[in-house]
Structure formats: structure tokens, C-alpha cells
Chain A
Amino acid sequence: DQQVKQNSPSLSVQEGRISILNCDYTNSMFDYFLWYKKYPAEGPTFLISISSIKDKNEDGRFTVFLNKSAKHLSLHIVPSQPGDSAVYFCAASADGSARQLTFGSGTQLTVLP
């Protein structure tokens, strides 16, 4: 039973355009959500997070949107850069402090120059 789903295994975007990565979850107890970026041969790197009390969080080029009623979150990257090419994982926690994370299966983003 996949509680966190990333239904798009891959996404290609032109440099300078917006990248939108999507994530759906089924567990209504999740109250903290994170995005991680992973380059080959490296561990995942924390990108941005959002608490369930918010519907938007922004950090530079990265914005995460949370729609609790739809159990859906998305990561927007504007403008996309070739260095953003990586696997992006959505993760969720039910304890408010990210003690135990449930990850999605990832989306490979390719930003084309």
C-alpha cells in the first residue's frame, strides 16, 4: 500500500520554464511534507518542506503547494535550470517533526538547455 505516490516517473522541461512535480498521499494523518532532490551516487538532499497548517511555502526558486482536501502537493521550480536535473522525492510524516518519513518513488526531472 503506497501511502505517498508520485505518478510521473519522469518529466522534461526546457531551461527557464516552470517545472511542476506532483505528489499524492492517502494517509490523512500526515501533517508534514518534504521534498528531497537526489543526484546519482549521492544521498537525497533536503529541498523544502511544508506543515499541514499552511498551503504554500516558498524558498527562492522553489515553492511547495499543499491541497489538504485533495491530499495533493506539488513542487514548482521557476525558472528551471539544467542543474535542477535530478530525481525528486516527495516525503510525508505523521508526527510533525519528520521522525519517520514515508517517501514516494520519485520523479526524474530533466531540464533541457
Chain B
Amino acid sequence: DTGVSQNPRHKITKRGQNVTFRCDPISEHNRLYWYRQTLGQGPEFLTYFQNEAQLEKSRLLSDRFSAERPKGSFSTLEIQRTEQGDSAMYLCASHYLQGIRGYTFGSGTRLTVV
């Protein structure tokens, strides 16, 4: 499988709980991105990694959000003390630094906070 894999596909959680999502990028891609998409909107940038280094974070990424990419391989996105406004599709994408084509996105994790 050469695609970007995201798990779980769906997550329903109660407000106040913590959730963690996982992304496995395409193996040779050294850049990894997290985006968030709400209904009727395009994806919004959250953060990106080059190898294991987190190089940029959007102001959308509040202190309740944390992302890691240990050893420059898979990545996790954790949301602490979830709020209803966190309900969205969380998309992961990967990209090869010198590539001229766009990102490859995963199918996303749909989070519903009840």
C-alpha cells in the first residue's frame, strides 16, 4: 500500500475526553502535514513536520492540540479536553521535499464530540 493511512476513520467522544489520531505517511515522504476540514469548508492548515521536526504550527492549533512525529515516520495528533467545536475531519498528508506535485492526503479521521 503506497497511500497515506489514517486511523481511526471515525471517532465519537464525549466532551472533555482526550483523543489521539494516527497517520502513517508514504514511506519516502519526508514532509507530513495535518489539516482540519469542517462542513462546507476547505481544509485548514494545522501543522507540518519535516522528518521529525515540527516546523510550523497554525494559530488554529491551540494548546489543547499536540502533534508528534517520532523518528520521522508516523505521526500522532492528540486533542486534550475535547470541545464540540473540535468536531471536524482531520486530514493527514505527506509530501516529498523536492517533489513538484501536491500532497498525498489520507482519507481522514472524522471526529464527533458529543
Contacts and interface: CB of A to CB of B under 8 A. Distances in A.
Contacts of B41: 103, 105-106
A101 B45 contact: yes
Interface string B77-114: 00000000000000101010100111111111000000
A42 interface: yes
Contacts, number: 54
Contacts of B56: 99-100
Q: Is the interface of B mostly helix, strand, loop or mixed?
A: loop
B106 to A, nearest CB: 5
B4 interface: yes
A100 B58 CA distance: 10
A76 to B, nearest CB: 18
Given A43-B108, A97-B97, A100-B56, 4 more contacts: A99-B48, A99-B56, A100-B45, A105-B40
By Cβ-Cβ distance, the 5 closest A-B pairs, closest first, are: A103-B42, A43-B105, A46-B102, A34-B102, A44-B105
